[in-house]
Amino acid sequence: MEDLTTIDVPQSHPRNAFKAAVFSLVFPGLGQVYNGQIKKGILYFALSYLIPVIFAVTRWATSFAGMVIFLTIAISFLLFMVVDAIINAKRQKFYILKPYNKWYNYVLIAIFISTTTLVFDIKKMIGIQSYIAQTTANNPTILEGDWIITDTKAYEKNTPKIGDLVTFTKEDGQLFMYRIVGLPKDTISLKDNIVSINNKLSKSKFIADRNIEGINFSELEETFPNGHSHRIYKSKEEFDDGMMNMNDFVVPTDSIFVLGDSRDHALDSRYIGCIAKNQITGQIKYSYWGKTGFKRINIKF
């Protein structure tokens, strides 16, 4: 009889579109590796980090328009990776496993991507930080519940300016956000809660009367001597006269004097003292959401 020999044919392992989609969604590029496209997976992984690096270098994300562009590109690229993984998985009906198509390799790749994400904090890389305002101390500029973005690299090369809204921490780690009204060696005075800087009184313009949660306020537009304008609230009821009026306080060297825009309801430098530049954690740039929704979007501080 004629001897018959058998030939081992590699077994087909069709790719699962759902697995490929989840892999790409959670770990950029892993879905492509699962589909046998290791070069494409490496490319997608690299691009997922190149996008924030570009925005970090250009500082685009510190503007509202730049942040919208960044999120649009990032989300679109993520969806593109997922769709690409699904389409290619469905095409792999007769897929022969590659040497790297082992479950433990997927785990190692996932660990590597997760570790990279932890090491390269995207928000820190771009130089932004997001906060939700917890107080009314900066009404009407920042309302309680506003979602704000700060530029954490604003003062790496530049110096703080009068009028800037900044976030800072005190020794106990508590976070504050107030407006800079005095720089080192400036002379600061208050007359009925209107600021004088180096003996130059700020201009004030009445806007409207407000009643917030039963408290009556006057809303004013205050313009500092350097031309910076913003809105403030002054309580119509007597509050703390000793803090509404202050004469010739000289800001110490290497210190900054800050005030809240809601002058009678702010635990600012009148109470907690001046702050040092190295205590500033960021300059407030814009609000992207609030309790009043779209009315608070893109408010320029």
Q: Identify whether the C-beta of residue 179 lies closer than 8 Å to the C-beta of residue 138.
A: yes
The 10s digit of each residue's pLDDT in 127-136 is: 889 999 999 9
pTM as predicted: 0.82
Where does residue 285 fall: left (phi above 0), alpha (psi -120 to 50 degrees), or beta otherwise? alpha
Query: Which pLDDT does position 86 carry in this prediction?
Result: 97
For residue 172, is pLDDT > 90?
no
Query: Which pLDDT does position 268 carry in this prediction?
Result: 94
Query: Which pLDDT does position 290 carry in this prediction?
Result: 87
DSSP 8-state symbol, 1: -
82 Cβ neighbours under 8 A, 6+ residues apart: 21, 24, 25, 31
Classify the C-alpha dihedral 289-290-293-299 as positive or negative: negative
Query: Which pLDDT does position 122 carry in this prediction?
Result: 75
Give the pair of three-digit tokens for residue 231: 């809105």
Q: What is the mean pLDDT of the chain?
A: 90
Query: Which pLDDT does position 236 carry in this prediction?
Result: 81
Rounded average pLDDT over 119-126: 78
The Cα 225–Cα 129 span in angstroms is 30
Give the pair of three-digit tokens for residue 183: 């720089």
The 10s digit of each residue's pLDDT in 97-116 is: 999 999 999 999 999 998 88
Q: Peptide bond before 99: cis, by omega within 30 degrees of 0?
A: no
The Cα 301–Cα 298 span in angstroms is 9
The 10s digit of each residue's pLDDT in 6-39 is: 555 578 889 999 999 999 999 999 999 999 999 9
Could you give the angle at the alpha carbon of 245 between the alpha carbons of 244 and 249, nearest 5°? Answer: 120
The Cα 180–Cα 161 span in angstroms is 7
The Cα 190–Cα 270 span in angstroms is 10
Classify the C-alpha dihedral 190-195-196-202 as positive or negative: negative
